[in-house]
Chains A and B, each alone.
Chain A
Amino acid sequence: MFLSGLIVFSMKRKHLLLMLLSLEFIVLSIYFVLFMYLGIFNNEYFFSMIFLTFSVCEGALGLSLLVSLIRTHGNDYFHSFNLLW
């Protein structure tokens, strides 16, 4: 699940939004693993709350970056991110 998320993340070369979505997919897979691990550790599931909070913040930040990028570039195509070369 994690590996397929990584592959999707790195193969994606058109829309930034899809990249962010695949990033969320990776987050979900890590959440799954973390949940299993915490299940072994005396069912201390509240740690996953911290993880979820952070991942939500990260996702929101990614979306806001997407918005600012669309405002400056007009699209979210990866082809257009070549100003810095």
Chain B
Amino acid sequence: MMKFIFMMVMMMPLSFLGGFWFNQVLWFLMTFIYLLGFSFNYLYMNVSYEYGNDLMSYILILLSFWVCSLMILASEKISSSGSWSGLFLFFILLLMWSLFMTFGSMNLFLFYIFFEFSLIPTLILILGWGYQPERLQAGVYLLFYTLLASLPMMISIFFCYSDFYSLHFFSMGFVDSLIIYVLINMVFFIKIPMFFVHLWLPKAHVEAPVAGSMILAGILLKMGGYGMMRLMVLFMGIGVKINLFFVSLSLIGGFYVSLMCMRQSDMKSLIAYSSVAHMGLVLCGVMSMNYWGLAGSLVMMVAHGLCSSGLFCLANVSYERLGSRSLYLNKGLINLMPNLSLLWFLLISSNMAAPPSLNLLGEIMLINSILGFSVYNMGFLMLISFFGAVYSLFLYSFSQHGSYYSGFYSFSMCGLREYLLLMLHWVPLNILVLMGDYLIFWL
């Protein structure tokens, strides 16, 4: 653990002094070194001081390394336009550092601190490199939605401490209080985001630069899922009684959000809403508190992290060319960039859980677990699954087919960097399914 922390710390001055692409190479190097540390073991490993990772944290840290590297690859524009590129690299590094600590800590309070820490680099990414002046509002939404729930969570963490005399994940007992359940989980609900508290997400996505969107969809939402997976152990007793409420809420919400997806005109906003629907399934999987649910939600989180981050990249590719994310302008792109259209197809088909992708594995496991929780969930699951395909197809057909907007003047074609970026999203997403058992046998 320490070597990666040190590598990141030492990269901090390098992000200002070294070049943009040198840092990029270092990021990939770091990712692959971390990949070498994979142990075929579900126990905590690399334990030092308060940090260590089991397979769940390992996978999520790996995902965040990967997404952060791709973030840099995606935001070539920041380097070429020279808008504070050193600072940008620095904040990505800071964000990665906090994510590393968040997923790697074995202590609830350290988890909490770094969970909060990750807010600030995200906020600055959105506010500093966003596009419209409305990004201020989006930043405030992001910050205060999270803080409003997370500071009461701190109180309940201290309550847990006075109960258990320890905050280590593996030495905590049970809590049977409804208030503590709500206070601790609410911050994860907001982060995931659950329906009703999801309003910050589309706003933040629409205003964020591509890197911010990628990290938001790719990792930050997963922090909520990760926290719930870690802490659901505490709420075995109370969870049996009231998880039903949240499961049904997020199922109905997922259906409703899928409907809302179909009438979005902004591509990014559509992808953001689709991730609300998908993360709702993850929430249900964790809440169902069975083996398949937990494993499936991890699979789904990894899959969704790669897939939606790739979709945001795609949206950004056409945004950089056309200067708009509106679906009414971004149409008929197959006439203009046919190669890119293949990648659109591949990523969108992954988004609707078409066969070779990891999303399919996750969705199958989640459907099983949610049906195991209650058979009556079948109806809404069907609807969510169906409408998931519908809005994915809607996005694909609306942006690719039809006649292209006649107001385009000229733009450069898709570069090699962008193909690489998109393939680096898609290939792991579809290769990892061959190794699906390692994502599953972590419990």
Q: In the complex, are there CB atoms of A and B closer than 8 Å?
A: no
Residues of B within 8 A of A (CB): none
